[in-house]
Amino acid sequence: MVHVIRDSDGVTTDLVGFMFDISERKAMEQELLALQKELETLSFEDGLTGISNRRMFDTYLASEWRNARRAAKPLSLIMIDLDYFKQFNDAYGHVAGDNCLKQVAGALRRVGTRPRDVVARFGGEEFALLLPETSAEAALALAEECRKAIADLAIFHANGGPKGHLTASIGVGSVVPAGATGAIGFVESVDRLLYAAKQNGRDQIAALQG
């Protein structure tokens, strides 16, 4: 800031400058912006596994459902539930259970790799992959990749069935949104397939085409 000093005739005689050090304020503003960005990221991230949380999944589901309806393109969903996970926690403890969930999340992240794919922890030991512009055939192939990726982790589970390691049951569905079809109903239909896979013996995939 510069202050002008004039004499009685209005002639400028001096210029007095004032300097303010705003570096500290700027640094604080940057720190607050970084903190806000971090908090926004954390609000959409599962704290244990580092993948998307249910809030992020719901947000993207609504958006991709609108996109698929507008473009008349398929939207696919894979839902995964770890078999006998309660027994795993009971046998090996919650620390081992948490580590198991982290490994599974990492394996699923290596399957859903496209920019718009969403890999999320849906709740508890249940995971979901939201796959825009993915056909029923492609989604089924990716579901098999998920099943195999979890099996290939070879996480020992004495109470996990005849194979002796952690397995997963999977429901998969694809739909081109139209008419009165709703996103929530679609998720519920795939979730029912997931539990049908469990009832039919676990470590398998049940598929829906729409």
Which CATH class for the 54-209 domain? alpha beta
- Nearest Cα neighbor of 148 from 110, 96, 121 is 110
Is the pLDDT reported for residue 30 higher than 90? no
36 or 99, higher pLDDT: 99
Q: Are 206 and 77 in contact (CB under 8 A)?
A: no
Give the pair of three-digit tokens for residue 201. 């013996």
Q: Write down the pLDDT at residue 45.
A: 93
Identify the band that residue 181 occupies on the pLDDT scale cut at 50, 70 and 90.
Answer: confident
Give the pair of three-digit tokens for residue 190. 């795939």
Three-class SS of residue 127? strand
Is the pLDDT reported for residue 9 higher than 90? no
- Nearest Cα neighbor of 178 from 57, 31, 48, 69 is 69
pLDDT tens-digit readout, 132-171 = 999 999 999 999 999 999 999 999 999 887 789 999 999 9
Identify the band that residue 57 occupies on the pLDDT scale cut at 50, 70 and 90.
Answer: very high
Contacts of 185 (CB under 8 A, 6+ apart): none
3-state DSSP helix/strand/coil percent for the chain, to nearest 5? Answer: 45, 25, 30
Q: Write down the pLDDT at residue 28.
A: 67
pLDDT tens-digit readout, 58-84 = 999 999 999 999 999 999 999 999 999
Contacts of 150 (CB under 8 A, 6+ apart): 80, 82, 104, 107, 108, 166, 167, 168
CA 96 to chain centre: 22
Three-class SS of residue 18? coil
pLDDT tens-digit readout, 123-136 = 999 999 999 999 99
**Residue owning tokens 């609504």:** 62
Identify the band that residue 1 occupies on the pLDDT scale cut at 50, 70 and 90.
Answer: low
| Domain coordinates in residue numbering, the chain | 2-43, 54-209
Which entry of 31, 40, 125, 133 is annotated as an active-site residue? 125
Q: Is 144 a catalytic residue?
A: no
CA 87 to chain centre: 26
Q: Write down the pLDDT at residue 117.
A: 97
Q: Are 67 and 74 in contact (CB under 8 A)?
A: no
Q: Write down the pLDDT at residue 139.
A: 98
